[in-house]
Structure 1
Amino acid sequence: MLTLNQWRSFLARSVYVFFLNGTLKSYGVILMDIVKKLDSKHYLVGWAFTLQTGAGYLISPLAGILLTKMSCRFVAMLGGLLAGSAYVIRGLVNISEIWQLFLLVSCSGIGFGLINISTVVPLKESFGTSYATAYAVTGLAANVGIAVLPFLLKYLMGSFGDSTGMLIFGALAWTLIVTGAMLPSNKNGKEEKVKEEYSLANEDNALDDIDEEPEKETNLDEADRIETLTTSDKLTNFEVSDMRRRPYERIENGDNTNCDVKRSYINIENIKILFIRFYGVFQHHPALVLYMIVTCINDHGYRSWSIFLIPYGEYLGIISEKAVLLSTIGGVAGLLGRLYCILLFSRYAMDVYLGFALPSLLITVSYTISFFCDQFHVLAVVAALSGFSYAVMSSASTGLIPSCVCDDHFKVTVVTLYTLWGLMIQLGGITTGAVVDITGSYRISFACLTVLSTLNCVIGFGWTLSPLRLRMKNQEKLFELFRNQKPYYA
């Protein structure tokens, strides 16, 4: 049974991803019209559209700073106000210059960025060891948005006109303010997390008995510790030593971690200390480098696919009303991908092969098929394969972060990843649009996406075979071993 705080954080995150992914996909409906209306280039309009996600990710450091001063609830409400207002203004003001489009989309992107970090953190704090599964479930809302919002925007603009349709669309986006207000406060979320882990450990019956046992040697070589943390599901000496401490002690001391780097309260104005902290993250979690490369390439491809899929269908001669169906098909297939991820996360079976390597292979195959065929039914299959694969990779990108880094480095890793993803998203709109402008062909742009997907596929399979392959850590099993007093050493 979910607690009230879990329901709040889950609902807020679901509504956020519904609007973020749905509105991004909706831009494909108006891309070609905007290019003609503003007499602009594809790369500029594509760049502007990717700002909704890119700008949001790039301000992740700012969002992280705000969360140290304000509550997640306030930051999320502020983000919802900015995101919805940008669409309302676009409905009220007739855009005639490209810089106006950049300004308004950036405003909505900043709003979505504030909501992003302020919903990820409460979700992690509320669900604890079930975070990956909860995150995958919220992803279902993203694909519902992909399937529904493009159709809704086209209907509103066709029935009420472009301006009024966009105005109504923006008013609907103000729902984000309401869901932001529903977020649990930071204090309550932390208290509930303490209670949850306290009950899981059953410290009254088990911990005191184990504390009476003689301490084992816990010194491991640094290389052995890194290898164990990234390639093994076994309890290490370090993990057993950490688990012998009561849960509330680990949390209050900022030491709920599988890493030997202790929490330090950093003055954000001290650049040297910030550099040392980031260096420490990569030093103790070397798999994070590969994680960043794979997820960055994935974000580049996903945003390009989202914006240019519908125009690609129209370029191949498919009528606009039918081309929009490609988005719906991709969204529905993405729902299946999210359900697949929920199953994997719930069974602690998600890893690099299932989350990155195999989906990249499917995307490469689908893009290759689309390069040689232009029939609608073939493109529908391509959209389904791509939607399914991108949904899997999207869930894995964030769901596997707790398996890649320790709890102590979770927040700084999330901020860093979203900043890098923001840069790659911007490159997605710019590079794909530039290829269209230079070659005059959407087909060539998708061929370039095929090359990137192939590269991601090679890296993913190589990572699968390397010692740094990620596996989900079944924390519930760790606690079960601990309660039964049967710890073993790697």
Structure 2
Amino acid sequence: MSPGGAAGHGAAKPQDQGWAWMVLLATVLLQGLTLGYPPCIGVFFTDLQREFQASNSETSWFPSIMVAVLHGGGPLCSILVKRFGCRFAVMLGGLLSGAGMVSSSFCGSIGQLYLTAGFITGLGLCFSFQAGVTVLGYYFVRWRTLANAIASMGVSLGFTLWPLLSQYLLDEMGWRNTFLIFGGILLNCCVCGAIMRPVQLASGARPQSPKPAEELGKTAEGAQLSNGASSPHPELRQQSRRTACFQMLQKYLAFDIFCQNKGYRIYTVGVTWMMMGFALPHIYLVPYAIQNGVEERRAALLISIIGFINIFIRPLTGLLSGHSIFTRRRIYLFSLAVLLYGLSNFICVISAEFSVLIIYCIILSIAMSGVGALLFQVLMDVVEMDRFSSALGLFTILESITLLIGAPLTGLLVDITSDFHYVFYTSSFFLISAALFMGLSFCALQKKAKLKDAPKVPLDNPSKCQYNEIPTEPRAESQSPPAVVYITSI
């Protein structure tokens, strides 16, 4: 096992004091560097268009690839954490993201920018963010909810500071030198990773980890050889490989849950559809404001306003949603937040004056805080916790696909019509329809389950999963967290 493997594989007795709070501070900074960074790309949108003579659709591929890889790289990060530990994954992510941005400062075409700043930087941000969140689960048990709420403030701080820094450096040095400086800033993820030293087991024993799929395949072949066969039959060897591949998919991509659990299926489809329009305002708000006569510095300030309000609203929303009053209503709160997000986009259509855009940013920030705080809380209500990491793998991959194609398709529509209003019309359509689909579907599913199972389920057992059709057993609070958990936040 690697020196960093203990935190990656789990610990018997995580600490809620001492060094754990240093790890929490590092996680706050890490989330500001990773999740807070992509929204500032809109500041460079106009300059990149002029530099490469690119259309709106071509330019929007760059932030779309970055965000899609950031969300969809979860299963790969999970394998990396399991094999080498959280510290290694965070530091590797810092090296990748820094190298990606430094390389992007020398790009000669928009296509090269897709690879460097889009794919490489996005993959590095994914590794650093998700491994950093994972390690919190091993350092905190009693104060885990509080720790995650505090850590989420880092996203809001990054959301506030990155656009202001981007606009200042862009005015003073141009986008190439700015990307070069950003590469150096993102290398600080390595410093955060160095702080996340492995959690030591109370007994000093080496933690046991499940066998990977390759070892399972070898075990199957060994069993065939022990039965007297000098060499495995080609059909049997091929079957063992298919079995190993299937077990790997079951571990990291929960297709069986998707097929059997209606609640998970509805929620995954709804969020995947929602993501087609979720990131559009972040990418196109600054270009839209500049096109309508708003000064560039004031346009960049709009993104910072969203982040500043998130600093206060997001942790508060996360803590309130954990109250017992909202236990059976989180999905409806989430749908309401998505609906408010969609409706707020019509404010931009009414007017593009700076004062009106400020009002839009305030309402958008409140709705976005609710979506970000409840996104994975609802997923935990829908699936069993022992399969949460697998369900999250399929969930993040599907939403990353729509995140990838949403902005370029909308950019193509803007190129055809020369009207930025279609950005907000499109975003509202996907968000409002997704909110209505999830809210009404879960309402019908809940009524159906209540009529079917009410006589069988004791009223004094609130620990049962409300939306899950597969029976679940409550897990002890003292039990260690799952071996691999990778979480993406919006």
**1:352·1:464 contact (CA, 8 Å) conserved in 2?**
no
**1:294·1:356 contact (CA, 8 Å) conserved in 2?**
no
Identity %: 21
The reply on whether 1:104 has 2:116 as its aligned counterpart is: yes
Deviation readout 1:45-90 (Å, 9 max, x if unpaired) = 1111122221233332222222232111101100011112222233
Local SS of the residue matching 1:3? coil
What CA distance in whole angstroms lies between the structure 1 residues aligned with 2:259 and 2:174? 55
Alpha carbons of structure 1 residues 304 and 474: separation in structure 2 relative to 1, 3 Å: same
Deviates more, 1:129-138 or 1:41-50: 129-138
Query: Which amino acid is the alignment partner of residue 272 of structure 1?
Result: F
Which of 266, 271, 290 is 2:266 aligned to?
Answer: 290
Deviates more, 1:274-283 or 1:78-87: 274-283
Deviates more, 1:386-395 or 1:291-300: 291-300
Q: Note the residue ranges of structure 1 that are not aligned, 5 or more in a row.
A: 196-251, 255-262, 481-490
Local SS of the residue matching 2:36? helix
Alpha carbons of structure 1 residues 376 and 439: separation in structure 2 relative to 1, 3 Å: same
Aligned pairs, how many? Answer: 410
Query: Which amino acid is the alignment partner of residue 439 of structure 1?
Result: T
**1:352·1:463 contact (CA, 8 Å) conserved in 2?**
no
What CA distance in whole angstroms lies between the structure 2 residues aligned with 1:365 and 1:264? 48
Deviation at 1:28, TM superposition (A): 0.8
Alpha carbons of structure 1 residues 17 and 32: separation in structure 2 relative to 1, 3 Å: same
Which residue is 1:7 aligned to? 21
**1:8·1:184 contact (CA, 8 Å) conserved in 2?**
no
Alpha carbons of structure 1 residues 170 and 2: separation in structure 2 relative to 1, 3 Å: same
The reply on whether 1:77 has 2:91 as its aligned counterpart is: yes
Across the aligned residues of Structure 1 and Structure 2, the Cα RMSD in angstroms comes to 3.3
**1:9·1:183 contact (CA, 8 Å) conserved in 2?**
yes
Query: Which amino acid is the alignment partner of residue 431 of structure 2?
Result: S
The reply on whether 1:363 has 2:325 as its aligned counterpart is: no
Deviation at 1:276, TM superposition (A): 5.2
Which residue is 2:432 aligned to? 454
Deviation readout 1:436-455 (Å, 9 max, x if unpaired) = 11221111121111111111
- TM-score, normalization by structure 1: 0.75
Deviation at 1:17, TM superposition (A): 2.4
Alpha carbons of structure 1 residues 422 and 400: separation in structure 2 relative to 1, 3 Å: same
**2:34·2:129 contact (CA, 8 Å) conserved in 1?**
no
Counting only pairs closer than 5 Å after superposition, residues 21-170 of structure 1 correspond to structure 2 as 21-91=35-105, 93=106, 95-105=107-117, 106-128=119-141, 131-170=144-183
Which residue is 1:488 aligned to? none
The reply on whether 1:425 has 2:438 as its aligned counterpart is: no
Alpha carbons of structure 1 residues 376 and 478: separation in structure 2 relative to 1, 3 Å: same
What CA distance in whole angstroms lies between the structure 1 residues aligned with 2:192 and 2:82? 21
Deviation readout 1:11-67 (Å, 9 max, x if unpaired) = 343223212333212111110110121011211211111222212333322222222
Local SS of the residue matching 1:22? coil
Deviation readout 1:295-331 (Å, 9 max, x if unpaired) = 3344433322211111111122212122112112211
Alpha carbons of structure 1 residues 100 and 275: separation in structure 2 relative to 1, 3 Å: closer
The reply on whether 1:16 has 2:30 as its aligned counterpart is: yes
Q: Note the residue ranges of structure 2 that are not aligned, 5 or more in a row.
A: 1-14, 217-240, 450-461, 466-473, 478-490
Alpha carbons of structure 1 residues 321 and 172: separation in structure 2 relative to 1, 3 Å: same
Alpha carbons of structure 1 residues 46 and 416: separation in structure 2 relative to 1, 3 Å: same
Which of 302, 307, 315 is 2:291 aligned to?
Answer: 315
What CA distance in whole angstroms lies between the structure 2 residues aligned with 1:342 and 1:271? 37
**1:5·1:184 contact (CA, 8 Å) conserved in 2?**
no
What CA distance in whole angstroms lies between the structure 2 residues aligned with 1:297 and 1:416? 14
Which residue is 2:386 aligned to? 408
Deviation readout 1:453-476 (Å, 9 max, x if unpaired) = 111220232145244599x9699x
Deviation at 1:128, TM superposition (A): 4.3
Alpha carbons of structure 1 residues 383 and 182: separation in structure 2 relative to 1, 3 Å: same
The reply on whether 1:435 has 2:413 as its aligned counterpart is: yes
